[in-house]
Amino acid sequence: MHIEATHSLDTATLDRLLDAALSEGRLIGAEAWLAVNGQSVYHRAAGWADREAGVAMRPNGLFRLASLSKLYTSCAAIRLAARGVLRLDAAVSDYLPYFAPRLADGSQPVITLRQLLTHTAGLGYGFLEPAGGGAYHAAGVSDGLDHAAISLEENLRRLAAQTLWQAPGQGWIYSLATDVIGGVLEAATSLPLPEVMRREVTAPLGLADTAFHAVDPARLGAAYAETEGGPQRMEQAHRLILQPECAGIAYAPARALDQQAFPSGGAGMVGTAADFLALLEALRVGREDWLPREWRDEMMRDQIIGIEMEGWPGWGHGLAGAVLRDPATAGLPASRGSWRWLGAYGHSWLVDPARGVSFVVCTNTALEGSVGAFSGEWLQAVYAALDVERRAA
């Protein structure tokens, strides 16, 4: 899907915000896309792809997608479910017999694919474990961003041997569940996950620049992480602390160049902002030739009514990201039913079906581009620009 650029929106506010974040040193580089009713009204690449080498950020650069990968993996799962290859309410152990983790009391509950997709399976992430490391760290479970020399199956077997953080269906915990979905996809199709992704998502939608490694290494820039002195270049391994009490995220930027790195469905893909916008638009408009509309609607409805998402007031969760329940509680101008998620290398995206809006901002600066101030400022600025246009009309 090709998005043509138009110039019908006053985008000066967006330019000023991006320029300020770059000049203040909060971001090193970024590429932003905004589409309204299927037309691109803003596209800009700015800053540095590699500050130390003096390489500017150019359009169509490659980014380490981190948790933007989850949308691709969820779409592949829903495509297979629509054809009856998967059953969302089946037990994970129906596809992966070894994946049957226990609770602290020794009982072995059933975990379903739907619970994996909604992060209500009782799993967690190693970066959320206590500072100093927990059971996942001790067992060598990878969060999908480091460069562990293990297979996907080995990582899932290590995960399955750990005690669940809570009973499935009890609450929402951000987790390695999408990586488990990747293992399910391999088992259900007898294909490696990169091939499943190619057949189900990237090839049908014409997304030639997205894979589980950099398809053109020359277009992959450096990665940067926040420090007290401003963002610094990540080297071979970098740990970024989200909260003082937590272990923090282990990054390995070179993983994106290794075609032998295990395919993490939750964090391991590499691609362009343009490809990701095309995926968002395919979901927003409901591409019947790719995914039946009723399955798209099921994918993007709030699946966890009655469960709150810690750190996400006013949001619920669908099968492929957060779903806005209450704009006032969330403190956002987006419409009820909007979809959103973030990526730990510094990305954010949103689809507002009611307003016909899709945007993605990929940066190379963790975590300012995702959970930092810039992400919220950008969302507010997008709606300010849209409201100015609507009043002018």
Q: Which residues pair with 63 in a beta bridge?
A: 271
Sign of CA dihedral 37, 30, 374, 24: negative
Residues 197, 384: Cα–Cα separation, whole Å: 36
Which tokens go with 312? 């996400």
23 catalytic? Reply is no
Which tokens go with 105? 């009391």
CA distances from 137 to 132, 269, 344 (A): 9, 22, 19
From 8, 40, 67, 264, active-site residue: 67
Q: Of 367, 209, 332, 271, give the one whose Cα is nearest residue 71.
A: 271
Q: Strand 365-366 relative to strand 224-225: parallel, antiparallel, unpaired?
A: parallel
Active-site residue set: 67
